[in-house]
Amino acid sequence: MAKKKKGRKKRGIPEIPVNSFADIAFLLIIFFLVATTMDRMTGNVSELPKGETNEKQQDKTPTVQLHHDKITFQDAELTVSELRDKLAELKLDEREGDAKVVAFEATGDVKYQDYFDTMCTISAAGGVIAIVKEDKKSGK
């Protein structure tokens, strides 16, 4: 009887299966594509000072008022483009310090759209916005 030769087991070199790596990576890419926003932020940057203004300062400061959808500047009713021209005449961007300040006052029924539009107009003219609190005016 022929002796059965014990065959050596073929030993494969251990390998990390990398075939699925690309699939995993592409899944991750899809996740990032879905979860990422490519939007560019636009708007207006300003600081909201908490300082108080006295009566003397308020008299000198140019004041923009918003009532419902009406813009008033130095007690004259204007449109946004007219306000832009009036502010340009003041040459706020050439001024320094407190002279750049424009007081901004709005009533409770003003929509944020009008508020934001007016605020951007003042900022673009080089003005520093000082928000006048309503309760302060009414003396509450």
Partner 1 sequence: MRLAQRSRILPRVPLAPMGDIAFLLIIFFMVTSVFIREAHLEVTLPEAAEIERLRDAHVSVTMDRDGKLWLQGEPCGVQELLLRLDTELGTRVDKTVMLKIDKDVHQASFAPLLRILSETGARIAWLGQDRRY
Of residues 97, 131, 119, the one with CA closest to residue 44? 119
Q: Minimum distance from CB of 9 to partner 1 (Å)?
A: 29
Q: Identify the residue among 83, 101, 110, 127 touching partner 1 (CB under 8 A).
A: 110
Contact 72, 103 (CB under 8 A): no
Beta-bridge mates of residue 18: none
* C-alpha gyration radius of the chain: 33
Report the alpha-carbon distance of residue 94 to residue 64 in Å, rounded: 19
Q: Minimum distance from CB of 94 to partner 1 (Å)?
A: 18
Restricting to residues 35-94, name those near partner 1 by CB under 8 A. Answer: 35-37, 40-50, 66
* Nearer CB in complex with partner 1: 71/119: 119
Contact 120, 82 (CB under 8 A): no
Residues that bind partner 1 (CB under 8 A): 18-19, 21-22, 25-26, 28-29, 32-33, 35-37, 40-50, 66, 106-113, 115-117, 119-121, 123-124, 131, 133-134
